[in-house]
């Protein structure tokens, strides 16, 4: 049956939502359906500017209330890319056809805890498309989307006008995904041009430390610009040096050259930069292989559980 109104569920985070954009685009263009997206309020702005999304719904604290609101929309199909208890309750409450993505949590647990790799050699986005086979949606190969507002790009250009620069992303949700200060110092000192520091207020002290040490080589924007302006700055950069972060996925959506330092996570989880098969992959992985404690988590920690943080500190950045 043709689907006229579809709800996609993906609550968080920045990177996770950006990784859904090929799914949104291909469903919209191939099924010509009305696309709704359910997301946590703090991440709604990531989807709001997406021209392939017809309506954004913000998840309520009360799941019962969210279900009641969603029932009024009379969806033909629910695509559950979140697959947790809340998304299950919502999907069940809407009583319509559904497609559910398998997050392979058991396989991730085996890799983290027993170092047994049973994960498929596929990117997360490719696994999303595998889940859509029952409704006939296929990958168009165009990669990720990120829609920058004209005013955000204008502000971004104003902050870096006339400067040729690289991006160094300091922020990440977890400490064990962040590039250590000593590595940041190495990267900046080796750079032949300017380095723009990006991240939130939570890394502003580190950014201040780096910009004080390298005042002629850095432009510190940590905690000073929002996500939209940050994306605009990334768009016009020469290259992006980052950990496993949401800004990394935005950089991939903008087809930027990426130098990616892996800490506690690993490319084996399938969340490395995704460019699409019609675009050339343009990234380099930097990781410490054969470290017995890695990966130590599928998400991250606020400190290194072993106390040595070798997964980051032992990375050779001389070729960046």
Residue 245 shares a structural domain with residue 269: yes
- Say if residue 173 is in the same domain as residue 288: yes
Residue 259 has which token pair?
């130098």
Residue 34: strand pairing partners: 5
Q: Looking at the structure, do residues 92 and 156 belong to the same domain, yes or no?
A: no
pLDDT of residue 169: 98
Instruction: Decide if 302 contacts 175 (C-beta within 8 A).
Output: yes
List the end-to-end C-alpha distance of the chain, in Å, as a whole number: 51
Q: Which CATH number does the domain housing residue 198 bear?
A: 3.40.50.2000
Nearest-10 crossing angle of helices 85-94, 63-73: 40
Nearest to 256 by CA among 277, 241, 268, 243: 241
Give the pLDDT of residue 1. Answer: 64
pLDDT of residue 147: 97
In a domain, 144, yes or no: no
List pLDDT tens digits, range 272-302. Answer: 999 999 999 999 999 999 999 999 999 999 9
Q: What are phi and psi of 121, to 5 degrees?
A: -85, 65
Rounded Cα–Cα distance for residues 14 and 37 (Å): 14
The residue-averaged pLDDT of 76-97 equals: 96
Q: Is residue 244 part of a domain?
A: yes
Whether residues 128 and 205 share a domain: the answer is: no
Residues 101, 26 share a domain: yes
**Per the domain annotation, does 320 fall within a domain?**
no
**47-76 burial string, b = 16+ CB within 10 Å, else e?**
bebbebbeebbebeeebeebbeebeeeebb
> For the segment 176-232, what is each residue's pLDDT rounded down to a tens digit?
999 999 999 999 999 999 999 999 999 999 999 999 999 999 999 999 999 999 999
* Residue where a domain stops, chosen among 106, 135, 164: 135
pTM, two decimals, is 0.96
Inside any domain, residue 56: yes
Do 119 and 186 belong together in one domain?
Answer: no
Residue 296 within any structural domain of the chain: yes
Q: 246 and 156 in one domain? A: yes
Do 157 and 35 fall into the same domain? no
Name the domain count of the chain.
Answer: 2
pLDDT exceeds 70 at position 317: yes
DSSP-H helix ranges across the chain: 14-18, 21-31, 44-48, 63-73, 85-94, 105-109, 124-131, 150-160, 181-190, 204-213, 227-235, 246-253, 310-313
Instruction: Give tens-digit pLDDT for 230-269.
Output: 999 999 999 999 999 999 999 999 999 999 999 999 999 9
Contact 101, 127 (CB under 8 A): yes
Q: Please check whether residues 69 and 183 belong to one and the same domain.
A: no
In a domain, 199, yes or no: yes
Task: Provide the b/e sequence for 248-287 (b: ≥16 CB within 10 Å).
Answer: bbbbbbbbbebbbbbbbbbebbbbbbbbbeeeeeebeebb
In the chain, the largest separation of any two C-alpha atoms, in whole Å, equals 63
Tokens matching residue 131: 């889940």
pLDDT per residue over 13-33, tens digit each? 999 999 999 999 999 999 999
190 and 305 in one domain? yes
Same domain, 58 and 163: no
135 exposure class (CB count in 10 Å sphere: 0-12, 13-18, 19+) = middle
**37 and 123 inside one domain:** yes
Range of the structural domain that residue 13 is part of: 5-135
Distance CA 288, CA 311 (A): 6
Q: Pick from 110, 135, 160: which residue ends a domain? A: 135
Q: Of 84, 105, 135, which residue is a domain's last?
A: 135
The answer to whether residue 141 is domain-embedded is: no
Per-residue pLDDT tens over the stretch 43-80: 999 999 999 999 999 999 999 999 999 999 999 999 99
Per residue in 159-178, pLDDT (tens digit) is: 999 999 999 999 999 999 99
- Asked if residue 142 belongs to a domain, the reply is no
Share of the chain above pLDDT 70, in %: 100
């Amino acid at each position: 049956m043709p689907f006229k109104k579809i709800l996609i569920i993906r609550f968080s985070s920045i990177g996770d939502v950006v990784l859904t954009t090929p799914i949104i685009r291909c469903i919209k263009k191939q099924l010509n359906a009305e696309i709704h997206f359910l997301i946590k309020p703090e991440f709604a702005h990531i989807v709001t500017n997406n021209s392939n999304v017809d309506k954004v719904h913000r998840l309520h604290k009360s799941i019962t209330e969210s279900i009641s609101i969603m029932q009024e929309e009379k969806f033909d199909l629910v695509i559950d890319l979140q697959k947790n208890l809340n998304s299950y309750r919502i999907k069940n409450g809407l009583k319509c056809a559904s497609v559910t993505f398998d997050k392979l949590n058991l396989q991730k647990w085996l890799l983290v805890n027993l170092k047994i790799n049973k994960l498929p050699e596929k990117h997360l986005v490719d696994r999303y498309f595998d889940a859509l086979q029952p409704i006939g949606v296929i990958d168009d190969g165009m990669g990720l989307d990120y829609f920058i507002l004209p005013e955000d790009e204008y502000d971004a250009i104003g902050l870096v006008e006339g400067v040729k620069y690289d991006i160094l992303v300091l922020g990440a949700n977890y400490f064990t995904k962040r590039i250590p200060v000593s590595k940041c110092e190495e990267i900046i000192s080796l750079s032949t041009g300017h380095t723009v520091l990006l991240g939130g207020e939570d890394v502003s002290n580190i950014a201040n430390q780096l910009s004080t040490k390298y005042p002629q080589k850095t432009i510190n924007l940590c905690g000073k610009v929002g996500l939209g302006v940050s994306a605009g700055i990334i768009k016009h950069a020469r290259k992006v040096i980052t950990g496993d972060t949401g800004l990394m996925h935005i950089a991939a959506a903008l087809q930027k050259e990426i130098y990616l330092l892996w800490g506690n996570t690993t490319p084996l989880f399938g969340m490395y930069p995704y460019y699409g098969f019609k675009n050339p992959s343009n990234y380099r992985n930097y990781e410490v292989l054969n470290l017995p404690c890695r990966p130590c988590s599928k998400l991250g920690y606020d400190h290194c559980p072993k106390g040595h943080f070798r997964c980051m500190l032992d990375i050779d950045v001389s070729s960046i």
